[in-house]
Amino acid sequence: MEIKRFENKVWLASPTMYGEEQKFVQEAFDTNWIAPLGPNVDAFEKEVAEYIGVGHAAATSAGTAALHLAYKLAGVEQGDIVLCSDLTFSATVNPISYEKAEQVFIDSERDTWNMDPRALEIALEKYKGRVKAVAIVHLYGSPAKLDEIVELCDKYGVTLIEDAAESLSSTYKGQQTGSFGKYNIVSFNGNKIITTSGGGMLLSDDEDAIKKARKWSTQARDNAPWYQHSELGYNYRMSNVIAGIGRGQLLHLEEHKAKKQAIYRRYEEGFKGLPISMNPYLEDTDPNFWLSCMLIEKEVVESGKVTPEMVRLHLEKYNVETRPIWKPMHMQPYFEGRDFISVDGDNVGKDLFERGLCLPSDVKMTEEVQNQVIELIRALLIR
């Protein structure tokens, strides 16, 4: 069948708004709670913490801000080592540089594309005594091998920080991601499974730590009638208006998850018989499939017949947005020289970057449009 260029852009992931957000925002206006903090912030923190199953939360202006606070709570300082997922967005690891500590990047494994526990153990041994924290990411919403990673952190006495920015609502053996680390974060950026347009949240069962984070995130103001500051602070708190959007979005989280999962299944079915596989996951996990991703077989890419870039450019002609898999952190110019730990000299993250592509996963995408996107990809691979 002939497919015409889509009049409306087919997005990778974009915000989907409902009427409930406006209700909470209007309450902020009606009560004049426009300044940072207020009833919506308090309620949003409570609702997200209860959903994830963690005791306490601090709403922040961005997921990156929440990560920075998590590293500070873990005691990360100049000269310390933080072992990080290599295949991620730079926001996961940038705050480590804010504290003048050093990132060591841990390669992925192929079962989930997340941090390889075997490589993590190699790094924990290599840097024993210097590692202050381990920061893991659940790539594109598929949970990492948490049992092994938690066990290793406990064995070496290292703080686990869980970056669940992409995996809100995903579960590992029935437990929500964002609840396994000592400090955990989620993101509400505009492309996430639910959004506040921008924003994030720090979560922990340590009530004192969350109180400390709230203080730091409001310029570390001391409890005094005048403006007094005994330590460095930040302007990291979420506003009451933004939190209202989040409260309305949270009502639709499970609905969005179900739609994302249906999108993944349609791709999976539509690519049968092609030299393509989808982003993998463990049997005892329930991913949110924030983004559905394809991986072209190595032989096809190496032959030059079809590459991810060819697919990306082809779909771009039809007004369809795709994006390469995250470029691994150890390959980023800014982090040149940082140590990279893999197993048996393999470089899984680099291979995934060179053969993978993120596909349109917008919850507003119709089944008809998705089927046309699938057909465009099929036509490239079977010509």
State mean pLDDT over 263-269: 98
Summarised one tens digit per residue, pLDDT across range 121-166 is: 999 999 999 999 999 999 999 999 999 999 999 999 999 999 999 9
**What is the Cα–Cα distance from 49 to 71, expressed in whole angstroms?**
20
pLDDT of the residue at 30: 87
**What is the Cα–Cα distance from 12 to 291, expressed in whole angstroms?**
8
Q: Domain boundaries in the chain? A: 19-250, 253-381
Contacts 24+ apart (CB under 8 A), 115-121: 115/85, 115/86, 115/144, 115/145, 115/149, 116/342, 116/343, 116/348, 117/145, 117/148, 117/149, 117/152, 118/343, 119/341, 119/342, 119/343, 120/83, 120/149, 120/152, 120/341, 121/152
Are the CB atoms for 296 and 355 separated by under 8 Å? yes
Do 19-250 and 253-381 fold alike per CATH? no
pLDDT of the residue at 33: 82
pLDDT of the residue at 1: 65
At residue 243, the 3 state secondary structure works out as helix
pLDDT of the residue at 32: 84
Are the CB atoms for 62 and 188 separated by under 8 Å? no
* CATH 3.40.640.10 at 19-250, yes or no: yes
At residue 249, does pLDDT exceed 90? yes
Structure tokens given for 225: 């009638």
State mean pLDDT over 257-285: 98
Question: pLDDT-derived band of residue 34, with 50, 70 and 90 as boundaries?
Answer: confident
Helix (H) or strand (E) holding 42: helix 39-52
At residue 331, does pLDDT exceed 70? yes
Summarised one tens digit per residue, pLDDT across range 85-100 is: 999 999 999 999 999 9
The average confidence (pLDDT) of the chain is 96
> Which of the four CATH numbers 3.40.50.1580, 2.60.40.10, 3.90.1150.10, 3.50.50.60 does domain 253-381 have?
3.90.1150.10
